[in-house]
Amino acid sequence: MQFFVDTADVAAIRELAELGMADGVTTNPSLILKSGRDILEVTREICGIVEGPVSAEVVATEAAAMIAEGRKLAAIAPNIAVKLPLTWDGLKACRVLTSEGHMVNVTLCFSANQALLAAKAGATFISPFIGRLDDINLDGVDLIADIRTIYDNYGFKTRILAASIRTVNHVAEVAKIGADVMTAPPEVIRKLAQHPLTDAGLATFLKDWARTGQKIL
Ligand code: E4P
């Protein structure tokens, strides 16, 4: 499963990329706001850090304007994936932009039927939002499983990008199901390394090592 980093924080992206933990990046208007940076400038910088897809989201809501914004964002770098909301206009824009050879990430997906439409419109990625479904007492992980089944049933090539990942358990769950990609904030990716038994085991080893009186270097 590929790891995308869900942030526009350049320092965090750089750190994870150096570790091989950033196969791509996803941004959205809220993340651009949080970064305090200009969208074109920060997106260009991110595209220079990671080789994989960098999602940049349009803010127009009507197809023709979405297409125009998408073309402008795609011109930033060859690894841009234009992010479009899963609306009827978004699907129209998806069809046009993918036919021009651009990568498209269809976002704000909350149902299997929406994911089916995105695949038929030729989306490169579909982004089902797990955490936001969990927020309203629905099961976001179940949605990933349903989309995996549907896409496999018909051989759709659209890649499942599990988004709105809030916990380390979400990561393991979507990996078991076979999501192609997951995108998570840097802090969730860092937490994947943590386990209390690792910490306790290391503390014991270091204590015993000190009692040997030895040194390796
Ligand atoms: C995905 O592309 C979105 O940017 C993101 O995963 C949304 O996550 P949130 O629901 O935690 O804001």
DSSP codes, 52-94:
S-EEEE----SHHHHHHHHHHHHTT-TTEEEEEESSHHHHHHH
Give the pairing type, strands 125-128 and 103-109.
parallel
Find the 176 Cα to ligand 1 centroid distance in Å: 20
At residue 18, the pLDDT reads 97
**Ligand 1 mean position, distance from CA 129 (Å):** 7
Q: Which amino acid is at 101?
A: G
Q: Among 2, 129, 188, 189, name the best residue to mutate to test ligand 1's pocket (greatest count of ligand atoms within 8 A of Cβ).
A: 129
Percent of all residues in the chain with a pLDDT value above 70, rounded to a whole number: 100
Rounded mean pLDDT, 160-174? 97
Domains of the chain, CATH where assigned: 2-212 (3.20.20.70)
Question: How many Å apart are CA 185 and CA 12, to the nearest integer?
Answer: 9
Q: Confidence class of residue 185 from pLDDT cuts 50, 70 and 90?
A: very high
b/e per residue 16-42 (b: at least 16 CB within 10 A): bbeeebbbbbbbbeebbeebebebeeb
Share of the chain above pLDDT 90, in %: 100
Taking residues 24-34, what's their average pLDDT? 98
Closest residue by Cα to atom 1, ligand 1, is 163
**Chain segment 73-123, per-residue pLDDT in tens:** 999 999 999 999 999 999 999 999 999 999 999 999 999 999 999 999 999
| Ligand 1 atom 6: residue of nearest CA | 164
* Type of residue at 196: P
- Is 83 one of the catalytic residues? yes
Question: Residues lining ligand 1, judged by CB closer than 6 Å?
Answer: 6, 26, 28, 107, 127, 129, 131-132, 163-164, 166, 183
